[in-house]
């Protein structure tokens, strides 16, 4: 078992003056660390040691991505930073792939096999939060890394650089790629990259995600499809001439009522969520326009499509009953993940060799304070150091990794970057993602990804076995069809 990782000092980033000092220090680190890190990694004897040489680099990158907290398809600075890091490390960079300005593919080496790592970038709107263990919104931000994609992007980047250094030092041949994948949060960036054929020649895809536990089990999840339903009515004075009006908001509310009744008559693993994004401007004006944004989820894409058609019927019925018109724009669609036990077992074995994160005293104090804001039923803090049993799991969330997994054998893991009991998309997740707790878990993921990638490069038989399982699970004659159809990327969906 390795020794616990040494943690960087924690800072609250709550004080604006301190923010400026920390930011300047980070920029200094960003300008000098690559040469030192790469020189140290070049002589490393294992993939994990090569990654450890990148640790300070990874921390600096993750904190910068956390501070910027850029939304989907708007990750200009975040994408540029990762591309710069990889370019300086000797990777060949192809930017703006699949018609996505912030997407990229970074390649190292030549020939076969082709092993890919995924790196996410985007933050979530709202949930503004400082990196402290109490609720403290940041007045300068209305977004936050509440799903830890700053750790995802930075961790995968240092894993790729460390693995490349190991490949170079060991003389191992093949192609390593890191895919910079924007707009995971509702923008389906990976779907457009998959649709463009960017994964067609990949032998294995490895990914990870922040979590409150360490787990490399094979996982299925929920396929997901979303759309904005836009109702059009007739405006009028709500008191003087209500009979002349046809309320678009009535259409939205009628649709929502029918969909809520629908919940009783769908498979229990279905999930349906909505928010009203436009409900009119004033109570005394009959709304001419109104909009509601829906997500529908189910593990089986075929059943998802059946439920989706019933939601569409509810929208049409609502428009008919309220004398309004409705159209809808599909915003995103993600397939569920296709598990690969062969790759998952390799990932799990390497995670167990790496072990759970080591916490510094600062990290432990942060975790202990954060624990006070979590439910009493939350797991003990010590569970962050454990590796979960290897078993098939259903993850009740969605990700565009699913589309990748139907086009190339794919495996992923989760590591404890958040205090045990923390849920994703919360202020607690945002705070931990900018803390030493998050950075410790990030390095566990980076070491595991690099070690797994190295094993796949060394053992072609594992890739053959993974490919055989992949083809069997997809079934004969499988043809990939994106759930979002042929629509162009919604590059402005977060503006």
pLDDT in tens, 79-109: 999 999 999 999 999 999 999 999 999 999 9
Domain boundaries, the chain: 16-221+337-474, 228-334
Q: CA–CA separation, 492 vs 73, rounded Å?
A: 7
Burial of 136 (C-beta count, 10 Å sphere; 0-12/13-18/19+): middle
Asked if residues 22 and 455 have their Cβ atoms less than 8 Å apart, the reply is no
Q: Is the peptide bond before 113 cis (omega within 30 degrees of 0)?
A: yes
What is the pTM (predicted TM-score) of this model?
Answer: 0.88
Q: CA–CA separation, 69 vs 124, rounded Å?
A: 8
pLDDT in the model for residue 421:
98
Instruction: Characterize the bridge pairing of strands 271-278 and 143-144.
Output: unpaired
pLDDT in the model for residue 384:
98
The fourth-level CATH superfamily of domain 16-221+337-474 is Zn peptidases (3.40.630.10)
pLDDT in the model for residue 26:
42
In the three-class reduction of DSSP (H, G, I as helix; E, B as strand; rest coil), residue 51 is classed as helix
Q: How far is CA 415 from the centre of its chain?
A: 13
Which two structure tokens, joined as six digits, stand for 388? 């979960």
Question: Could you tell me which of 29, 84, 77 has the C-alpha nearest to residue 57?
Answer: 29
Give 421-474 pLDDT, tens digit per residue: 999 999 999 999 999 999 999 999 999 999 999 999 999 999 999 999 999 999
| Ranges of the chain with pLDDT below 50 | 1-43
pLDDT in the model for residue 473:
97
Burial of 284 (C-beta count, 10 Å sphere; 0-12/13-18/19+): exposed
Asked if residues 158 and 55 have their Cβ atoms less than 8 Å apart, the reply is yes
Asked if residues 145 and 131 have their Cβ atoms less than 8 Å apart, the reply is no
Q: How many other CB atoms are there within 10 angstroms of residue 1's CB atom?
A: 8
Q: How many other CB atoms are there within 10 angstroms of residue 418's CB atom?
A: 30
Q: CA–CA separation, 89 vs 22, rounded Å?
A: 25
**Which residues are bridge partners to 228 per DSSP?**
293, 329
The angle at the Cα of 56, spanning 26 to 452, to the nearest 5 degrees, equals 135
Asked if residues 298 and 269 have their Cβ atoms less than 8 Å apart, the reply is yes
327: phi > 0 → left, psi -120 to 50 → alpha, else beta; which?
beta
Q: What is the mean pLDDT of the chain?
A: 92
Give 383-396 pLDDT, tens digit per residue: 999 999 999 998 88
Where are the alpha helices (H) located in 141-219, listed in sequence order? 149-170, 189-195
* Statement: 228-334 belongs to CATH 3.30.70.360: yes
| Total residues belonging to the chain | 495
Q: CA–CA separation, 130 vs 360, rounded Å?
A: 20
Burial of 81 (C-beta count, 10 Å sphere; 0-12/13-18/19+): buried
Give 240-255 pLDDT, tens digit per residue: 999 999 999 999 999 9
Buried b (16+ CB within 10 A) or exposed e, 200-239: eebbbbbbbbbbbbbbbbbbbbbbbbbbbbbbbbebbebe
């Amino acid at each position: 078992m390795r020794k616990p990782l040494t943690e960087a000092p924690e800072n609250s980033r709550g004080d604006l003056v301190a923010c400026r000092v920390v930011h300047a220090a980070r920029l200094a680190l960003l300008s000098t660390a690559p040469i030192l890190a790469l020189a140290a990694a070049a002589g490393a004897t294992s993939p994990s040691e090569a990654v450890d040489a990148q640790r300070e680099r990874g921390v600096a990158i993750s904190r910068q991505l956390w501070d910027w907290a850029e939304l989907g398809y708007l990750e200009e600075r975040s994408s540029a930073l990762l591309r710069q890091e990889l370019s300086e490390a000797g990777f060949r960079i192809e930017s703006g792939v699949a018609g996505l300005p912030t997407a990229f593919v970074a390649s190292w080496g030549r020939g076969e096999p082709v092993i890919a790592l995924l790196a996410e970038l985007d933050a979530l709107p709202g949930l503004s939060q400082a990196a402290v263990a109490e609720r403290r919104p940041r007045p300068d931000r209305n977004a936050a890394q509440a799903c830890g994609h700053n750790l995802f992007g930075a961790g995968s980047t240092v894993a790729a650089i460390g693995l490349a250094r190991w490949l170079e030092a060991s003389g191992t041949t093949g192609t390593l790629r890191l895919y910079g994948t924007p707009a995971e949060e509702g923008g389906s960036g990976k779907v457009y990259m998959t649709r463009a054929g960017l994964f067609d020649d990949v032998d294995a895809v490895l990914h990870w995600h922040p979590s409150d536990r360490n787990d490399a089990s094979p996982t299925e999840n929920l396929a997901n499809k979303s759309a904005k339903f836009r109702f059009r009515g007739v405006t009028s004075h709500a008191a003087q001439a209500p009979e002349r009006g046809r309320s678009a908001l009535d259409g939205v509310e009628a649709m929502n009522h029918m969909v809520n009744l629908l919940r009783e008559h769908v498979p229990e693993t279905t999930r349906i969520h909505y928010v009203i994004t436009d409900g009119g401007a004033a109570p005394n004006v009959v709304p001419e326009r109104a909009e509601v944004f829906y997500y529908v989820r189910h593990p089986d894409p075929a059943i998802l499509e059946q439920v989706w058609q019933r939601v569409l019927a509810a929208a049409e019925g609502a428009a008919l009953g309220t004398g309004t018109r409705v159209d809808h724009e599909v915003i995103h669609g993600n397939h569920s993940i296709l598990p690969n036990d062969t790759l998952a077992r390799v990932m799990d074995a390497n995670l167990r060799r790496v072990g759970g994160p080591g916490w510094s005293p600062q990290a432990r104090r942060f975790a202990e304070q954060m624990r006070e804001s979590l439910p009493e039923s939350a797991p003990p803090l010590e569970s962050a150091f454990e590796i979960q049993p290897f078993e098939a799991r259903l993850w009740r969330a969605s990700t565009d990794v699913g589309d990748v997994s139907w086009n190339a054998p794919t495996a992923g893991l989760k590591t404890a970057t958040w205090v045990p009991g923390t849920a994703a998309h919360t202020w607690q997740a945002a705070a931990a993602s900018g803390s030493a707790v998050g950075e410790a878990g990030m390095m566990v993921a980076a070491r595991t990804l690099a070690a797994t990638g190295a094993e796949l490069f060394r053992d072609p038989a594992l890739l053959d076995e993974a490919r055989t399982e992949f083809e069997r699970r997809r079934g004969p004659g499988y043809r990939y069809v994106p759930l979002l159809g042929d629509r162009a990327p919604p590059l402005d969906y977060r503006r």
